[in-house]
Amino acid sequence: MALGIKKVSIVTITLSSMVVWIGFYAWRIMFNNFAVEVFDASPTDVGLIQAAREIPGLLAFGVGALALYLTESRIAALSIIAVGAGLFLCGVAPSLVVLGLATVLMSFGFHYFEPTNSSQLLLLSKSDNLGRAQGRLRSYESMAGLIGAVIVLGLTLFLDFHTTFYIFGAAIIAIGLYLAVALPSNRTKTENRKVKLSRKYMLYYSLSFLRGCRRHIFTTFAIFLLVKNHGLDITYVSILMLANSLITIFTHRWIGHISDKLGERVVLVGASFILIFVFTGYAYITYLPLLLPLFLIDNALFGSSIALKSYLRKIAPPEDVTGCLSFGMTANHITAVVIPIVGGVVWSMFGYKATFIAGAVIVFVDMLLALKVPANGKLNEQIRAEMV
């Protein structure tokens, strides 16, 4: 079947993704320092806002429902507008409550954009090139992070946090409005999307759930540990994010190549094995020059999601992909509202070590489950058998 999605090019998908990730990196770089320096936020305050930020991810299954009525290209454009509006409102925020609400709006845009854009890319790519295609896109997203870090570093040398948020928000809103008008339909009139839950996809959903658990511990508390316990200011945080983006420009492409060549299971199991030691390191290493490489390794291994999406695309027909990705996003965020709050309380009561040891245990369970993903050859045989 010739997919109407070919009307939306790889270039459009890539540029749209870069816009969203520039905005997200700007928020990520500034948030902890903004919250601590302007509002004197505590670990529990940060945990609550981070928990609220993940609510849109929990509701990401709505993307599958929206795709029944709107094309993926239109959903992507509207999501970009929401990201920009959220960033602009962060600059307006007079209190932690308003900052939290603005963050939720930004998060709605981000979490609805991701499965939509990924679906477009997966449907455009050939089955033997899924990893490389995702690796290239993730590489460009890392370049976007690099651009965002440089802009934040430059702007915050002369402007306050509020004005910097205004600039990012207004620019992204303008781009989103343009794309909402300019993007063509990515679907033919006879092509439908489905919202479908099936036992066939349960391993994908389970791995999405476990990886969400460990991701939320990392994104909530890793940078916070460096800021709160080691005094990293906005300049050093920006430089760290810049270094992270430089590294992942190359590691994402490498992970995509390995996924295509050796199979999804090798990438998923290998990444989890390494992360067990990374989380244990967060718990017991107190020497900052050793903690910083752990942060970079952890970020680089987020690229293992390339293998998980490749696995899904190989077992799912085109009409199921958008719905499955949106439900996978929801599974990834089921504990997102709980973990930041519980992690913050545990940190306050027992110290940060307990939070990161819990993360190491979750990653170990994820590694055991990833062993159930078929080896590359067996998975290809399974796909060929289903096509007969």
Query: Would you state the pLDDT for residue 117?
Result: 85
Query: Would you state the pLDDT for residue 1?
Result: 35
φ, ψ (nearest 5 deg) of residue 286 = -115, -5
- Would you say domain 8-387 falls under CATH 2.60.40.10? no
The number of residues in the chain equals 388
* Mean pLDDT, residues 76-87 taken together: 92
- Whether residue 195 is predicted with pLDDT greater than 60 in this model: the reply is no
Closest CA to 26 of 197, 150, 183, 174: 150
* Mean pLDDT, residues 52-62 taken together: 81
Closest CA to 171 of 104, 76, 90, 87: 87
Query: Would you state the pLDDT for residue 5?
Result: 43
Query: Would you state the pLDDT for residue 32?
Result: 79
Which pLDDT tens digit goes with each residue over 269-321? 999 999 999 999 988 888 888 888 999 999 888 888 899 998 988 888 877 88
* Mean pLDDT, residues 1-23 taken together: 73
CA dist., res. 13 & res. 80, Å (int):
12
Domain boundaries, the chain: 8-387
| 3-state DSSP of the chain | CCCHHHHCCHHHHHHHHHHHHHHHHHHHHHHHHHHHHHHCCCHHHHHHHHHHHCHHHHCCCHHHHHCCCCCHHHHHHHHHHHHHHHHHHHHHCCCHHHHHHHHHHHHHHHHHHHHHHHHHHHHHCCHHHHHHHHHHHHHHHHHHHHHHHHHHHHHHCCCCHHHHHHHHHHHHHHHHHHHHHHCCCCCCCCCCCCCCCCHHHHHHHHHHHHHHHHHHHHHHHHHHHHHHHHCCCHHHHHHHHHHHHHHHHHHHHHHHHHHHHHCHHHHHHHHHHHHHHHHHHHHHCCCHHHHHHHHHHHHHHHHHHHHHHHHHHHHCCHHHHHHHHHHHHHHHCCCCCCHHHHHHHHHHHHCHHHHHHHHHHHHHHHHHHHCCCCCHHHHHHHHHHHHC
Which pLDDT tens digit goes with each residue over 311-320? 988 888 877 8
Residue 262, burial from CB neighbour count under 10 angstroms (0-12, 13-18, 19+): middle
**Positive or negative: CA dihedral 114, 116, 121, 122:** positive
Which pLDDT tens digit goes with each residue over 21-55? 999 988 988 887 888 787 877 777 887 887 788 78
- 367 near 269, Cβ under 8 Å? yes
CA dist., res. 80 & res. 154, Å (int):
23
Confidence of residue 341 (pLDDT cuts 50, 70, 90): confident
Query: Would you state the pLDDT for residue 196?
Result: 59
Query: Would you state the pLDDT for residue 266?
Result: 92
Token pair 């795709």 is found at 67
Tokens in use for 127?
């089955």
Q: For the full predicted model, state whether its pTM sits above 0.85.
A: no
Rounded to 5°, the CA angle 138-266-275 comes to 70
* Mean pLDDT, residues 340-359 taken together: 83
Tokens in use for 146?
């690099």
Confidence of residue 374 (pLDDT cuts 50, 70, 90): confident
CA dist., res. 45 & res. 57, Å (int):
20
Query: Would you state the pLDDT for residue 185?
Result: 57
Cβ neighbour number for residue 182 with a 10 Å cutoff:
10
Average pLDDT value over all residues in the chain = 82
Closest CA to 72 of 133, 140, 12: 12
